[in-house]
Amino acid sequence: MVGAVLLRGGQVLGEGYHREFGAPHAEVAALAACPDAEGATCVVNLEPCSHLGKTPACTDALVAAGVRRVVFAVRDPHRAAAGGADALIRAGVEVECGLLREQAAALNAPFLWAETRTERPFVALKLATSLDGFVADEWHKSQWITGPEAREHVHWLRTGFDGVAVGRATAEVDDPQLTARGATVPRKQPTRVVFGRSGLLDPKLRLVRSAGEISSVLLVDPGSRSQAEDRLTGTGVRVVAGEGLVGKLHELRAMAIRSLLVEGGPRLAAELLERDLADRIYLYQAPILLGQGLAAFATRQPVRLDAAVRWVPVERKAFGDSNLIVVDRKICLPE
Ligand SMILES: NC(=O)c1ccc[n+]([C@@H]2O[C@H](COP(=O)([O-])OP(=O)(O)OC[C@H]3O[C@@H](n4cnc5c(N)ncnc54)[C@H](OP(=O)(O)O)[C@@H]3O)[C@@H](O)[C@H]2O)c1
C-alpha cells in the first residue's frame, strides 16, 4: 500500500496512490494529478522503484517531471525494485529516508516480511471476542459476536492475504466459506487452509464442496496424509503434510503463500502464539458479556506480568459497535 504527495512551498500540488496490482504506482498517479511538478518535493511511504515492471520506473518519472527532492519512509527490499534512492541521487535529486519509518513498515508488514524471509508466511491472527474475552459462548456458538460493519471489514482484510486459515474444529463447527465476499473483490480468492493434524476433515463441509473452484489446502501430520487423501479424493482439496506447525507453515511458504490470516479457533491461535509464530493480531471486541465460554487463547501457559511481551499497537478503529485493535509482535523494519 503506497501513497504519494507532491508539495511545493508547503502547498499540496497533487496526490496519488497505488490503486491495484498492475496500476500506476503512487508517484506516477500523483504526477498525473499535478500539471507542473518542477522543483517539487515528493513524499512517499515506500522507496520509489527504479525498474521497469508492470509500469515504468517511478524514479525516471520523478526525474523527468523535475522533482527536486524525494522523502520516503522505508526502503524497498524487493530485489528488482530496490536501488531507487541511489538512482535518484545519481540524477541529482535530494533524497531523505526514514520519515515515520515504523508506521510505514507496519502498513506494509506482510510485504516487507515476505521480501526478506522465506521460512514461513507472515502470520496474522484474527479473532472476535466479547468484552470478557470469549470467542464463543458456553455452547460454542460464535456467529455472530461482532456486527455487520466489523464482518464487512474482515472480508476486506481477507483480500490482502494469500491464504486464510482455521483450525479443523472451527472448520467443522462453523462451516465457514473463508472467501472474500465484501465490496472489494480480490484478483484471486486467497487459498483456504485448514490445520488438522489428524486429516479427519468432513467432506460435507462447504469449503470442501467448493474446493474445485477455490484453492483449498488441508495441512496434516505426515502420518495422516494417506488417510486424509483417501477421505478427500475427488474433492479438489490439496492435502499437504508438514512436521509440526513450523513444518506446515514452511510448506505453505513453499507454495508461494507469503501471508496468512489465521481466523482461529483459540486452540490453533494459542499454539501459534506459544511457538512465537504469530506476527500480528487483529482483535475485534464487541460490547457483549458472555459470562462463560471459549476463551480467546485458553490453552496458553501462564505468563508472569513482568515477563509478558508488550505488543506494538499499529492501528485502532471502530466498526459499528465493535472496536478493532491491531498489534504487531514487533515492527519488521527493512535495512
Ligand atoms: N470468535 C472468533 O473469532 C472465533 C474464530 C474461530 C473459531 N471460533 C470458535 O472456536 C471454536 C473452535 O475452536 P477450537 O479452539 O476448539 O479449535 P480450532 O483451533 O479451530 O481447531 C483445533 C484443531 O486444529 C488443529 N490444530 C491445532 N493445532 C494444530 C497444530 N499445531 N498443527 C496442526 N493442526 C492443529 C487440530 O486438528 P485435528 O484434530 O485434526 O488434529 C485441532 O483439533 C468454535 O466454537 C468456533 O465457533 C471463534
**Best CA proximity match to 171, nearest among 87, 109, 228, 226:** 228
Of all protein residues, the one whose alpha carbon is nearest to atom 28 of ligand 1 is 268
* C-alpha grid cell, residue 241: 503434510
pLDDT tens figures, 18-58: 998 889 999 999 999 998 999 999 999 999 999 877 677 99
* C-alpha grid cell, residue 87: 538512482
Q: What is the pLDDT of residue 329?
A: 96
- The one-letter amino acid code at 137 reads D
Is the pLDDT reported for residue 275 higher than 70?
yes
pLDDT tens figures, 99-137: 999 999 999 999 999 998 999 999 999 999 999 999 999
Ligand 1 closest atom vs CA 170: 20
Q: For residue 104, which phi and psi values (nearest 5 degrees)?
A: -70, -35
Print burial letters for 60-89: b (CB count within 10 Å at least 16), e (below 16).
Answer: bbbbebebebbbbbbbbbbeebbbbbebbe
d(C-alpha 235, C-alpha 216), whole Å: 10
Q: What is the pLDDT of residue 21?
A: 85
Active site residue 274: no
CB–CB of 44/70 below 8 Å? yes
Active-site residue, from 20, 27, 115, 138: 27
Q: What is the pLDDT of residue 81?
A: 65
CA of 56 to the centre of ligand 1 (A): 46
pLDDT tens figures, 297-321: 877 788 999 999 999 999 999 999 9
Q: Is the CB of 135 under 6 A from ligand 1?
A: yes
Query: pTM score, two decimals?
Result: 0.94
